[in-house]
Copies of this chain bind each other. A is one copy, B any other.
Amino acid sequence: MALGSVLVKLGMLSTSDHASVVSMNLFVALLCACIVIGHLLEENRWMNESITALAIGVCTGVVILLTTRGKSSHILVFSEDLFFIYLLPPIIFNAGFQVKKKQFFRNFTTIVLFGAVGTLISFSIIATGATEFFKRLDMGSLDIGDYLAIGAIFSATDSVCTLQVLNQDETPLLYSLVFGEGVVNDATSVVLFNAIQSFDLSHINSSIALQFIGNFFYLFVSSTMLGVVTGLLSAYIIKKLYFGRHSTDREVALMILMAYLSYMLAELFYLSGILTVFFCGIVMSHYTWHNVTESSRVTTKHAFATLSFIAEIFIFLYVGMDALDIEKWRFVSDSPGTSIAVSSVLVSLILVGRAAFVFPLSFLTNLTKKSPNDKIGIKQQVTIWWAGLMRGAVSIALAYNQFTRSGHTQLHGNAIMITSTITIVLFSTVVFGLMTKPLVRILLPSPKHLSSIVSSEPSSPKSFFAPLLENGRGSEVDMACTSIPRPSSLRMLFTFPTHTVHYYWGKLDDAFMRPVFGGGGFVPFVPGSPTERSVHPW
């Protein structure tokens, strides 16, 4: 048993034997193929990179299945560690690093409301629904812990896929809401899942429930603080030590290592690494990024995006390939009806569970907003609901953790849950994913109009950077823009200064943070100033 789990974890490392080398070659070649084909299909209105990678993965799986005569379909064993330790951190860090910070912090309350409270609502509905429906099906032995785990597993939306479907420039409010919610949601689901596994759930009383909630808030706040502190530390080190004697390689290496350190520290203290690394990314892009050389800025911006891009493709390619693993399907082949029923029930629960918090919480949020421009319209609510329906690698990783511990899918119920998770991930990514782009186009036909109302992000300074920061997969960073707020955005800031976290933050930033940690966040744009000159050397 121990050897088995070690071998599963080993995955990629056992490259001494020739079979592993063949696997790695095939996998790297497939990654290259995904990039090239994804690029060729870029203009296609239905496709996105995730679906391309999934499709290539499934096709490869079929080919391997036929070649090995039905013995196996994957070339790498799915390793939870590989996913949580190596693939997820760069994706989430890059998301924090590239997110439009003004939008994010302006909508901070809404994002946390959606991500934390919303996920809890979704979790309760899915867990309750699963308990009700699955008892009527012939599911084998699932206990209360399993049902709660199912709630947590299927509450975890796929922030990776969302990033590829929505466009930060076209629909900035929606992007920041859906994506920000996605990150908080990931963290909430993982925290919930860990809490379910560690607490004794056979006899729940009010004291345990309070303890649970307290634990949840502690994790939330301390994870965020850890990320912020690590980010600030990196800014301070680079500002103080490297003053006047910059070295691009050292700076970039230090930023990468400190970001990874923040994630590992969170794991060390049993916190949520996802939240930590996300906030570390935000702080690094706000302070550290402004303390380094121009080449470090270009390098970090694109290197982080590239790492994240490779990790994303890796995950989807893998999930596609893993979907055809014949071992898993053998156990459920004698009861295909049950499997289909379970998947259908879960998809319905996901749809209902998300609707049950998006619309009420949007209503609540709208009550607190005075300006009609700030309110979330019904069409936008539908988009938010729809864009968060996809389930991805986090769900798969959690499902593997929960349902393969007691013998690798030996139990009937466990086997069905694993295959259902894969079915739902494939179905939601392909079907919901394919329909999101057209849906956004139908529901929000005039993105330019919308963005001019909602976004206060300056878009004109982008042109200054065109030679330097040209087209990065459509996800333009705002760091450059943030450093030079134009008069128009300042005016916007003063239009509703009292009810934004953003406003108070700006004051604190100017008075205390910037002098200590560096960064160009709120420097007024003065033509000919050092800020300008450092950015445009000509």
Contacts and interface: CB of A to CB of B under 8 A. Distances in A.
A295 B472 CA distance: 9
B256 A294 contact: no
B302 A260 contact: no
B468 A295 contact: yes
B306 A264 contact: no
B248 A470 contact: yes
Contacts of A28: 257, 260-261, 264
B13 A81 contact: yes
A469 B293 CA distance: 9
B9 A40 contact: no
A296 interface: yes
A333 interface: no
A252 B10 contact: no
Contacts of A305: 248-249
B302 A248 contact: yes
A79 B13 CA distance: 10
Contacts of A472: 247-249, 295
Contacts of A267: 15, 21
Interface stretch (A30-38, A135-143, A181-189, A390-398): A30-38
A482 to B, nearest CB: 18
A228 to B, nearest CB: 18
Interface in A78-124: 79-82, 85
B81 A32 contact: no
B246 A40 contact: no
A516 interface: no
B36 A249 contact: no
Given A6-B14, A268-B21, A294 B468 contact: yes
Contacts of A306: 248-249, 252-253, 256, 299, 303
20 contacts: A9-B16, A10-B10, A21-B268, A24-B264, A25-B264, A28-B261, A31-B257, A36-B237, A36-B254, A248-B305, A248-B470, A248-B472, A248-B473, A249-B306, A252-B303, A252-B306, A253-B306, A257-B310, A299-B302, A303-B303
